[in-house]
């Protein structure tokens, strides 16, 4: 059984997709043992509580510096016996001590096809605004391992979504979530739970 900690900042629809996939049995041998938010008002915390999952709110501003914040996060992860850390709409840049301790065990979902529309300043709705501004015809979502950079870690899985002429950022965000994010995040978690994700020479591949 793979114990998972999910880190969230907002609505938590990706968290919900994982909870539902575990309930339905499309993700097996995995259990969410803790949901951590940096915001007390994140609706994701309500979703976790409704599903009977333990929650914690750990805010960087409550700590002396980022290292101390990293230590608090590590303590929570260890207490929850989590072996995989899933960033599902988590908008805090994690401290270096935390990322290096859990290298190869942290994954993130990003709402574009990396390396396009990612990096500093590209998060949430802003990504879809930039996609439409640029006029690209295909976007999508990416699940990748987290390293010290922003959205620079090895890519595990991607799914493309076509842009429509009348898309707005909100409409596109919803379609990318439905068609890509809520599909590939549970898939990757199931693959990791069954040892089907291999990391070699800083490249990830999924064994089908
Ligand atoms: C999702 O679209 C996720 O991909 C994005 O924030 C949204 C959170 O929604 N994450 C990023 O932009 C990270 N760079 P949710 O709280 O409903 O899952």
Q: How confident is the model at residue 68 (pLDDT cuts 50, 70, 90)?
A: very high
Residue 127 tokens, joined: 């990504």
For 31-61, the pLDDT digits (tens) are: 999 999 999 999 999 999 999 999 999 999 9
CATH architecture of 2-206: 3-Layer(aba) Sandwich (3.40)
Stretch 179-185: mean pLDDT:
98
For 79-129, the pLDDT digits (tens) are: 999 999 999 999 999 999 999 999 999 999 999 999 999 999 999 999 999
Stretch 178-194: mean pLDDT:
98
User: Are 159 and 143 contacting, i.e. CB atoms less than 8 angstroms apart?
Assistant: no
| Cβ of 89 less than 6 Å from ligand 1 | yes
Return the closest-CA partner of residue 113 out of 87, 166, 151, 164: 151
Predicted TM-score (pTM) above 0.95? yes
Residue whose pair of structure tokens reads 């914690």 in the numeric block: 56
In the reported structure, the alpha carbon of residue 101 is separated from the centroid of ligand 1 by a whole-number distance in angstroms of 24
* pLDDT reported for residue 130: 98
* pLDDT reported for residue 117: 98
User: Are 87 and 7 contacting, i.e. CB atoms less than 8 angstroms apart?
Assistant: yes
Q: How confident is the model at residue 197 (pLDDT cuts 50, 70, 90)?
A: very high
* pLDDT reported for residue 83: 98
Residue whose pair of structure tokens reads 């690209």 in the numeric block: 136
Q: What angle do CA 91, 157, 33 make, to 5 degrees?
A: 55
| Cβ of 114 less than 6 Å from ligand 1 | no
Largest CA distance in the chain: 49
| Cβ of 123 less than 6 Å from ligand 1 | yes
| Cβ of 109 less than 6 Å from ligand 1 | yes
For the chain, how many residues are written? 208
In the reported structure, the alpha carbon of residue 153 is separated from the centroid of ligand 1 by a whole-number distance in angstroms of 17
Q: Which of 110, 128, 144, 194 is catalytic?
A: 110
**Torsion angle of C-alpha atoms 12, 147, 97, 194, degrees rounded to 10:** 70
User: Are 27 and 56 contacting, i.e. CB atoms less than 8 angstroms apart?
Assistant: no
| Cβ of 190 less than 6 Å from ligand 1 | no
| 110 catalytically annotated | yes
CA distances (Å), origin 38, targets 71, 76, 152: 14, 13, 22
In the reported structure, the alpha carbon of residue 86 is separated from the centroid of ligand 1 by a whole-number distance in angstroms of 12
């Amino acid at each position: 059984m793979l114990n998972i900690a999910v880190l969230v900042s907002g609505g938590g629809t990706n968290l919900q997709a994982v909870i539902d996939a575990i309930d339905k049995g499309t993700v097996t041998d995995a259990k969410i043992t803790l949901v951590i938010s940096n915001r007390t008002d994140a609706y994701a915390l309500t979703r976790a509580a409704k599903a009977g999952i333990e929650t914690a709110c750990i805010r960087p501003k409550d700590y002396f510096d980022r290292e101390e914040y990293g230590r608090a996060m590590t303590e929570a992860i260890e207490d929850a016996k989590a072996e995989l850390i899933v960033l599902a709409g988590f908008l805090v840049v994690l401290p270096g001590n935390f990322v290096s301790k859990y290298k190869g065990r942290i994954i993130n979902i990003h709402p574009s096809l990396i390396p396009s529309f990612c990096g500093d300043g590209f998060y949430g709705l802003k990504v879809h605004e930039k996609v439409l501004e640029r006029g690209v015809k295909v976007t999508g979502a990416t699940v990748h391992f987290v390293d010290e950079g922003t959205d620079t870690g090895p890519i595990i899985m991607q799914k493309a979504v076509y842009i429509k002429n009348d898309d707005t950022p909100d409409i596109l965000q919803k379609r990318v979530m439905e068609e890509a994010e809520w599909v590939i995040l549970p898939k990757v978690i199931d693959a990791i739970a069954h040892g089907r994700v291999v990391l070699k020479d800083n490249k990830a591949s999924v064994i089908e």
